[in-house]
C-alpha cells in the first residue's frame, strides 16, 4: 500500500511515495532513476521545483500540481524580505512555464495565487501558502480514494478481472495512492483483480520503470508488455477494462493523456473492451471546448533516439515526440472523478458534474 501523507510530530512534514514536504524544503524521489535507484533530491526554492517538473524528476498531472504548490510555499519561506511579493509572483511564473499540458499545474498555481493575494505580510504568506499547499496535497489523496470507490461501484465486477493500463498513474504521479492505478489497487484490495497488463509506455517508459515497480512492491499481479502488444492482449487475454489517467479533460469530455492512449481507446472500442479514464476534478478544464484546444507538449528527440545514453536510432535522425495525445469523448465509456462518474461523456454530462 502506498504511503499516505503523514504529518510529523512537528506537524510540518507530509510524506508520500514520491515527495516529502518539510515546510522549508521539498524532497522529491527522482523518478528518472527508477527502478534501479531510489534517490531523493532536496529543493529549497521554486526554481528548483520548476526545473524538476520540466526534467520529469517528478511527473504525473496531480503530482506536478502538488509539487508546484509546494514550490510557491518555498518561494515565500525563502523570500528575501525585500520585494517579497515580486519574488512570489516570479516563482509562480517560473512554475507555470515548466510543462504545458497537465492543467493540474495551473489549477494548483491559481489556488496558491488566490491565497497569496489575500496575504498582507510575508509572515502571513509563509503560513498560509504552506497550509494551502498541504491542503492541495491531502485533498488529492482523498480524491484518489473517492475515485477508487466510485470506479468499483461503477464496474461492480462479480469476479476477478484483468485490466490493461498505460503510463504511470500511481502514488508516484499523485498525492499518494493513484488515479487509474488507485482503482487497480482497490480492485486488488477487494480481491477482484486477476491481472494488470502494464504497457511499457515508450519513450519515457513510465509503465516498465514506474508502474511495474509500484505494483510489484505492493504485491499486485502485474504483467509488463510492449506497447505494440496491447491489441493482441485485448484480442486474446479477456481484458475487461482499459483504465488510464488524464492530464487535461475538456468541457465535451475529450481527454489528453500519455501518448498511446488514443490508440488504446480505438483498440478497446474495436475489441468491445471498456475504456475508463480516472482523474481528479483538478484535471478538468471546462474553459476549453474540446481536445483540439489542449496544448500538447513535445519533448526532445533524444528521449526517443536514446535511453540513458544508449543509442536506439541513428544519431541526429529527425524525431516527432509528442508526449500526449487526445482521446475523443466518443471512445470513452466512463470518466471517473472524485465528484462522480460521467458515463458516455459529453458536454451535458460534464456540465452536470462540473458546471
Ligand atoms: C495520474 S498521472 C496523469 C498522467 O500524467 C502522465 O504524464 P507524465 O508522466 O508525462 O507526467 C501520464 O499522462 C498520466 O496518465
Q: Tell me how far the alpha carbon of residue 132 lies from the centroid of ligand 1, in angstroms.
A: 23
Ligand 1 contact via 179 beta carbon (within 6 Å): yes
165/306 same-domain check: yes
> What is the pairing mode between strands 161-165 and 239-244?
parallel
The set of residues, in sequence order, having a beta carbon less than 8 Å from that of 329 and lying 6+ positions away, is 252, 253, 254, 255, 345, 346
The annotation status of 252 as a binding-site residue, yes or no, is no
125/238 same-domain check: no
- Catalytic annotation, residues: 247
Q: Count of residues for the chain?
A: 355
Give the number of the atom of ligand 1 that is nearest the alpha carbon of residue 168.
Answer: 14
Question: Of 142, 165, 198, which residue sits at a domain end?
Answer: 142
123/224 same-domain check: no
Ligand 1 contact via 138 beta carbon (within 6 Å): no
Q: What is the pLDDT confidence band of residue 12, given thresholds at 50, 70 and 90?
A: low
90/163 same-domain check: no
108/187 same-domain check: no
Domain-embedded: residue 13:
no
User: Could you list the residue range(s) of the whole structural domain that residue 57 is in?
Assistant: 19-142
Grid coordinates standing for 284?
478538468
pLDDT digits (tens, 9 = 90+) for 186-205: 999 999 999 999 999 999 99
35/121 same-domain check: yes
pLDDT digits (tens, 9 = 90+) for 300-346: 999 999 999 999 999 999 999 999 999 999 999 999 999 999 999 99
Residue nearest to ligand 1 atom 12, measured at CA: 258
Q: Tell me how far the alpha carbon of residue 63 lies from the centroid of ligand 1, in angstroms.
A: 9
The annotation status of 60 as a binding-site residue, yes or no, is yes
81/214 same-domain check: no
With the most atoms of ligand 1 within 8 angstroms of its CB, the residue from 31, 34, 105, 167 to mutate is 167
CATH number for the domain including 72?
1.20.120.420
Cα(69)–Cα(195) distance, integer angstroms: 35
Question: Of 142, 163, 197, which residue sits at a domain end?
Answer: 142
334/238 same-domain check: yes
Ligand 1 contact via 245 beta carbon (within 6 Å): yes
184/115 same-domain check: no
pLDDT value of position 17 = 81
135/151 same-domain check: no
pLDDT digits (tens, 9 = 90+) for 213-260: 999 999 999 999 999 999 999 999 999 999 999 999 999 999 999 999
Q: Tell me how far the alpha carbon of residue 55 lies from the centroid of ligand 1, in angstroms.
A: 14
pLDDT value of position 14 = 74
Query: Is the CB of residue 168 less than 8 Å from the CB of residue 56?
Result: no
Give percent of the chain with pLDDT exceeding 90: 94
Tally the domains of the chain: 2
Ligand 1 contact via 59 beta carbon (within 6 Å): yes
The annotation status of 128 as a binding-site residue, yes or no, is no
CA 35 to chain CA mean position, Å:
18
Q: Tell me which DSSP letter residue 131 carries.
A: H
CATH number for the domain including 308?
3.40.50.10470
The annotation status of 194 as a binding-site residue, yes or no, is no
pLDDT value of position 244 = 99
Q: What are phi and psi of 74, to 5 degrees?
A: -65, -35
pLDDT value of position 81 = 64
Residue nearest to ligand 1 atom 5, measured at CA: 60
Amino acid at each position: 500500500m502506498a504511503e499516505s501523507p503523514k504529518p510529523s510530530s512537528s506537524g510540518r512534514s507530509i510524506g508520500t511515495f514520491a515527495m516529502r514536504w518539510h515546510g522549508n524544503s521539498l524532497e522529491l524521489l527522482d523518478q528518472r532513476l527508477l527502478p534501479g535507484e531510489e534517490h531523493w533530491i532536496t529543493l529549497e526554492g521554486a526554481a528548483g521545483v520548476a526545473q524538476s517538473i520540466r526534467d520529469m524528476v517528478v511527473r504525473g498531472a496531480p503530482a506536478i500540481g502538488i509539487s508546484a504548490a509546494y514550490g510557491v510555499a518555498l518561494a515565500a519561506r525563502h523570500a528575501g524580505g525585500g520585494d517579497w511579493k515580486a519574488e512570489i509572483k516570479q516563482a509562480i511564473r517560473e512554475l507555470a512555464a515548466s510543462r504545458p499540458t497537465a492543467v493540474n499545474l495551473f489549477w494548483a498555481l491559481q489556488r496558491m495565487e488566490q491565497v497569496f493575494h489575500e496575504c498582507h505580510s510575508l509572515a502571513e504568506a509563509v503560513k498560509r501558502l504552506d497550509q494551502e499547499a498541504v491542503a492541495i496535497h491531502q485533498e488529492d489523496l482523498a480524491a484518489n480514494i473517492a475515485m477508487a470507490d466510485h470506479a468499483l461501484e461503477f464496474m461492480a465486477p462479480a469476479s476477478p478481472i484483468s485490466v490493461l493500463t498505460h503510463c504511470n498513474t500511481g502514488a508516484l504521479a499523485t498525492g499518494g495512492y493513484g488515479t487509474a492505478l488507485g482503482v487497480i489497487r482497490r480492485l486488488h484490495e477487494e480481491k477482484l483483480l486477476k491481472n494488470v497488463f502494464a504497457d511499457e509506455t515508450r519513450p519515457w517508459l513510465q509503465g516498465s520503470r514506474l508502474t511495474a515497480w509500484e505494483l510489484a512492491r505492493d504485491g499486485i499481479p502485474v504483467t509488463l508488455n510492449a506497447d505494440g502488444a496491447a491489441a493482441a492482449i485485448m484480442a486474446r487475454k479477456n481484458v475487461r477494462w482499459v483504465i488510464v489517467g488524464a492530464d487535461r479533460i475538456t468541457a465535451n469530455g475529450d481527454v489528453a493523456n500519455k501518448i498511446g492512449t488514443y490508440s488504446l481507446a480505438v483498440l478497446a472500442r474495436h475489441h468491445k473492451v471498456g475504456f475508463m479514464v480516472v482523474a481528479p476534478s483538478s484535471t478538468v478544464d471546462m474553459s476549453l471546448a474540446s481536445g483540439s484546444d489542449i496544448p500538447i507538449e513535445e519533448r526532445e528527440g533524444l528521449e526517443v533516439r536514446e535511453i540513458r545514453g544508449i543509442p536506439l536510432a541513428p544519431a541526429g535522425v529527425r524525431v516527432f515526440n509528442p508526449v500526449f495525445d487526445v482521446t475523443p469523448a466518443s471512445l470513452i465509456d466512463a470518466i471517473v472523478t472524485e465528484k462522480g462518474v460521467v458515463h458516455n461523456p459529453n458536454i451535458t454530462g460534464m456540465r452536470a458534474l462540473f458546471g
